[in-house]
Structure 1
Amino acid sequence: MSNQIYDFEPWINIVEPLPGESISHFLGRFERANLLTGYQVGREARIGAVVSRWKKLYLNPFPTQQELEALAQVVEVQVDKLLEMLPPKGMTMKPRPIRLCGACYGEVPYHRIEWQFKEKMKCDRHQLGLLTKCTNCETLFAIPADWVEEKCFHCSLSFAKMAKRQKHY
């Protein structure tokens, strides 16, 4: 065996953002695809623990342009795409409880940032009230970054099946 050192660029698995996806859900997908933690992503981007705050949808203070540029380099996504995962300027967020439309999730499984807007109580697409807990066991939803199996982590009811118990608005 030789002690040859190979000269190559590190690589990552590219994760494409989904339309309206929340930063929390995106970061969770990116971390799983690359076997990383939020801490490692923050360290690599040289922005520290702020990434862990974003995963929890704690966006106050709002991410700076410099932070977004640093994250964009690590996740290989353009800054404008990262901005689409955040609330628009002037929009108030409510990071807790996590909200979800089971009908939307059943169609395309990911967390939408708009579900966390403070004034948002219903899904405009399905005219259903947003859920804040499992319709079976009433456990509050985990942060979207942790949605690995697309179901309640307590009783395993799928998010899509929860749509049957969503109230029409």
Structure 2
Amino acid sequence: MEVGEINPWFFQVEPFEGESISHFLGRFRRANELTPTGLGKAVGIAGAITRWEKFRFNPPPSRQQLEALAKVAGIDADRLEQMLPPAGVGMKMEPIRLCAACYVESPCHKIEWQFKVTQGCQYHHLSLLSECPNCGARFKVPALWVDGWCQRCFLSFGEMLKWQKPS
């Protein structure tokens, strides 16, 4: 009996509206028990996953790379492209920023929070947080957000809302 090529299968993860590629990649990797390197090898773009999770888009993802990732992730390449900054929009790689009010409504990191031009949340008219208001810990890259709370003191992102100031 001859065994044909075995194609791997992956658990699908539905993207949130406005979700950053970093957050989506972290959720997809955890659902499939993959490291950034493991996902990069599965997609055929070793190294790129780690860069994208840290908002490093130089060089920007190519259409071919997005299509390869889309095939593995089971979503459309155009949907992945929406998780990236628009052409010409600069990214703020550090600090990672958060609107607690948005997170309560949709538990994900929004790509727009990391745009250099973003000063505050345009929906809630609140300043963005860049560290835990309780203990001062800087937020980790969104790919590492698992439970929606500070990695040091475990204050939930939703509870941080009371510390956000009007922008």
Range into which the TM-score falls when normalised by the shorter chain: over 0.9
Write the distance in 1 (CA, Å) between the matches of 2:6 and 2:60: 35
- Give the counterpart of 1:73 among 66, 71, 74: 71
**1:10 Cα shift?**
2.6
1:124-163 equivalences in 2 (<5 Å): 124-163=122-161
RMSD: 1.6
**1:9 Cα shift?**
4.0
Question: What SS is found at the alignment partner of 1:21?
Answer: coil
1:157 maps to a residue whose letter is: L
**1:71 Cα shift?**
1.1
TM-score (norm. length: structure 2): 0.95
Write the distance in 2 (CA, Å) between the matches of 1:109 and 1:115: 14
2:11–2:31 Cα contact (<8 Å) kept: yes
**1:67 Cα shift?**
1.1
Question: What SS is found at the alignment partner of 1:114?
Answer: helix
**1:5 Cα shift?**
6.0
2:16–2:106 Cα contact (<8 Å) kept: no
Identity among equivalent positions (%) equals: 50
Write the distance in 1 (CA, Å) between the matches of 2:140 and 2:157: 12
Write the distance in 2 (CA, Å) between the matches of 1:136 and 1:37: 30
1:45 maps to a residue whose letter is: V
Write the distance in 1 (CA, Å) between the matches of 2:46 and 2:9: 21
Write the distance in 2 (CA, Å) between the matches of 1:65 and 1:7: 26
1:116 maps to a residue whose letter is: Q
Write the distance in 1 (CA, Å) between the matches of 2:132 and 2:74: 34
Name the counterpart of 1:92: 90
How many residues end up aligned between the 2 structures? 167
TM-score (norm. length: structure 1): 0.94
- Give the counterpart of 1:38 among 30, 36, 39: 36
User: Which ranges of structure 1 fall in alignment gaps of 5 or more residues?
Assistant: none
**1:8 Cα shift?**
5.8
Name the counterpart of 1:116: 114
- Give the counterpart of 1:101 among 99, 102, 107: 99
**In the superposition, relative to structure 1, how do residues 43 and 125 fare at CA in structure 2: closer, same or farther (>3 Å)?**
same
Give deviations 1:105-155, integer Å, cap 9, x for gaps.
112110000000001011011100001000111111000000001000011
Q: Does 1:55 align with 2:53?
A: yes
